Amino acid sequence: MRLARPSDREAVLSFAANTWGGRDYIPDVWDPWIGASDGILLVATPVPPAGGPGPTDSDGRPLDPDRPVAVTRVAVLAEGEIWFEGLRVDPRVRGRSVATHLQVAELRWAVAHRARVVRYATAPDNEASHRLGARHGFALAGAWRRYGGDEEEQGERVDPERLLERLREAGLGLPDEPASRRLWSLVEGDATFHSGRGLYEYRPWSVQALTQARFEAHVRRGEVVVAHSATGAPALAVLPLSGGRPDLALHVGLLAGTGEGAVALMESI
């Protein structure tokens, strides 16, 4: 195991570009990840057997000892909260414990950086990932459902900063910090927030704990909007900009409140 290098790009993308029916997000995040300061990008390379011939793949074909056959990313989301993502293994070496060794390396790094909790997300039918996590002490936190249209159906993207400005102009922004403290009670009392273990999607495709301090920071940055239904039922949404990459559209990191208020809020957005 070693840190990824910019020169590893071609080797990694040769097995991490078409994971799901011809599409994977790794090509889009390689450049941000390789230069990120909030974690590490690791690769696994073949090791020649002691005193034997060079390393080979599952079919006996030779492997380049310095060419990566797996990759993974470890990100620090907040103090004590670490997220694993982007674990990919070259099909030529699957079934040979490569992912196991890579996850052990991730966990050792997390321990060294005083992680209190480590999380990752995987598909419900990815049994190999479930077994790998269980082997190292991971437990299922819950099912995570994502709602949204296909990118092809979304049309031209609106600049997120401009969208937030328009929402504030429409009267959906929170006016002051006392309002944020009052509405924090709406979040704390929200059944969905509790069933989701108090987590929210600050950064796209990862979840972490939402504390009152983090909520109020979003308010100060103008990233929380609120609306009421015709009957006065409230709902609020956290729309993080600070956690997203500039190439991604604005996303809803948290939706809390009544169903009527949520409909009013989404219609307003």
Pairing of strands 81-89, 254-257: unpaired
Q: How many angstroms separate the Cα of 41 from the Cα of each of 35, 44, 85, 102, 125?
A: 9, 10, 10, 11, 26
**pLDDT tens digits, 153-201:** 554 566 767 777 777 777 776 656 677 778 899 999 999 899 999 999 9
How much is the average pLDDT of 217-237? 86
Q: 187, 215 in Cβ contact below 8 A?
A: yes
Please give the pLDDT value at position 170.
76
What SS3 state is found at 107?
A: helix
Q: How many angstroms separate the Cα of 29 from the Cα of each of 23, 81, 217, 223, 250?
A: 13, 21, 26, 24, 17
Q: What is the dihedral of CA 99, 103, 104, 110, to 10 degrees?
A: 170
Pairing of strands 254-257, 234-238: antiparallel
Domain residue extents for the chain: 2-135, 151-268
Residues 6 or more apart in contact with residue 231 via CB below 8 angstroms: 260
Q: Among residues 134, 132, 227, which one has the least CA distance to residue 174? A: 227
Q: Band the pLDDT of 85: cuts 50, 70, 90.
A: very high
Q: 216, 222 in Cβ contact below 8 A?
A: no
State which H helix or E strand residue 19 sits in: none
**pLDDT tens digits, 33-74:** 998 999 999 999 998 777 777 888 888 899 998 999 999 999
**pLDDT tens digits, 89-127:** 999 998 889 999 999 999 999 999 999 999 999 989 899
Whether residue 150 is predicted with pLDDT greater than 90 in this model: the reply is: no
| Residue 51 φ/ψ region, left for φ over 0, alpha for ψ in the -120 to 50 degree band, beta for the rest | left
Q: Among residues 94, 85, 155, which one has the least CA distance to residue 121? A: 85
The token pair at 269 is 């957005």
Whether residue 152 is predicted with pLDDT greater than 70 in this model: the reply is: no
Q: Which residue has the higher pLDDT, 173 or 19?
A: 19
State which H helix or E strand residue 174 sits in: none
**pLDDT tens digits, 64-73:** 989 999 999 9
The token pair at 47 is 């090791």
Superfamily for domain range 2-135: Gcn5-related N-acetyltransferase (GNAT) (3.40.630.30)
Cα 21 off chain centre by = 20
2-3: strand order across its sheet: 2-3, 39-44, 70-78, 81-89, 117-119
Q: What is the mean pLDDT of the chain?
A: 86
